[in-house]
Structure 1
C-alpha cells in the first residue's frame, strides 16, 4: 500500500464522517421545523436552510466515498460483454472522463462560490451562498483525488478500510 493510499484512507474516513454528521443534522432539524409549524403553530426560519446546507454537504462530500467504494451507479451492460483487455481500456477511459468531469465541476462551482461569497442567505444571514455551495468544489476535488488514486493504484473498493464502511 502506498503512502498516497494511506492518505486517501484518512480522507475517505473524514468524508464518511462529515457526510454522516450532515445527514444526522438534516434528519434532526426537519422534524423540528415540522413540529414547530404544525404543533406549536409557529414556523421557524432556520430548519429549511440548515437542512439544505446539510443535504449539499451530504451529497457532495459523500459522493467521493461512494466513488472510492465502488457503490456509485454503474451501467455495465455493454462493457460486461467486452474482452478483459477492452474492459480495462474502458475503465481507464472512464477514469480519464472522471478527471475531466471533476475539473469542470470544480472550476464551475469555484466560480459560483466566488461570485456568491458575500451574498447572505435571507433566512440564515450568518451563512453566505458562497459558503453554502463550498462543499461542491471540495467534493469535486476529493473525488479527483480518489480518481487519481484509482489510476495509480487500481480499484480500492475491496481494501479493509473501504469495506469497513459497510458499503458492500
Structure 2
C-alpha cells in the first residue's frame, strides 16, 4: 500500500500501483513538464518581442513590422498550452456552490457526467479545428511574418489533444484534484512510488533530478 497526503491528512489509496496506472501517471507527469517548458519559452519569447518593438520604435525610431505579430502568436500558443496544463491539474474555474451541497455519491456522479461532457466537447473541437487548419489556415498568410496562418491556428487542435491526453491519464492513473473539491492527491507520492518499484524490479530508472522534481510538486 502507499499513502498520499491530502488537505485532510494522510489517506491510503487502497491499491498497489499497476503497470498501466504507473505508465499513465508518468506520462502525465513528464508530458506536463514538457508542456510547461515549451509554454515558458514561448512566454519569454513574447516578452522579448514586445521589448524589442518598444526599443526599436521609441529609441531607434525604426519600428519593426513583425515583432507585434510574433508576440501575439507566441502569447496565444503559450496561453492555450497553459489551458491544457489547467485541465491536467483541474485548476480551471468551477462553480461549487450547488454541487458541494450534494452527498459524496451524487458529487462523484456529477463529476463523471461533467467529464464525459467535457471529453465530447474536446473531441468536437479537435475535429472542427483540424478541418479549419487544413481548409483555411493553409491558404492564409500573416501580413508581417509572411508565414502560413496554419502555424497559429494549429495551437487549437494541439492544445485540445493535450487536454484529452491529460484527462485520459487522469482517468487511468488517478485524479490529481477532483473537480468538485479542494482535496489534492499528491502526484509526487505516486511518482516516487513508481520510481521505487521500477528500481526494485530492475526496470527503467528515473534520474535523481526527476525524482527531486516530483517531490517538489
Verify same fold: TM over 0.5: yes
TM-score by length of 1: 0.88
Instruction: Give distance in 2, aligned partners of 1:152 and 1:7.
Output: 11
1:119 paired with 2:140, answer yes
2:72 maps to: 52
Checking the alignment, whether the CA contact within 8 Å between 1:56 and 1:133 is kept in structure 2 is: no
Q: Deviations over 1:78-127 (max 9, x none)?
A: 111110111111111111111012112111211121121242211001x2
After superposing the two structures, state which structure 1 stretch, 112-121 or 95-104, moved more.
112-121
- Count residues with an aligned counterpart: 164
Instruction: Give distance in 1, aligned partners of 2:97 and 2:88.
Output: 21
CA displacement at 1:43 relative to structure 2? 1.6
Checking the alignment, whether the CA contact within 8 Å between 1:36 and 1:42 is kept in structure 2 is: yes
1:81 maps to: 101
Checking the alignment, whether the CA contact within 8 Å between 2:56 and 2:62 is kept in structure 1 is: yes
Larger Rg computed on CA atoms:
2
State the Cα RMSD in Å: 2.0
Picking from 178, 187, 191, the partner of 1:159 is 187
Q: Deviations over 1:27-61 (max 9, x none)?
A: 12112111211222222111111112111211221
Checking the alignment, whether the CA contact within 8 Å between 1:98 and 1:147 is kept in structure 2 is: no
After superposing the two structures, state which structure 1 stretch, 128-137 or 109-118, moved more.
109-118
Picking from 140, 152, 156, the partner of 1:132 is 152
After superposing the two structures, state which structure 1 stretch, 66-75 or 130-139, moved more.
66-75
Instruction: Give distance in 2, aligned partners of 1:4 and 1:153.
Output: 5
1:147 paired with 2:167, answer yes
TM-score by length of 2: 0.70
CA displacement at 1:161 relative to structure 2? 8.6
2:36 maps to: 16
What SS is found at the alignment partner of 1:2? helix
Structure with the bigger percentage of helix = 1
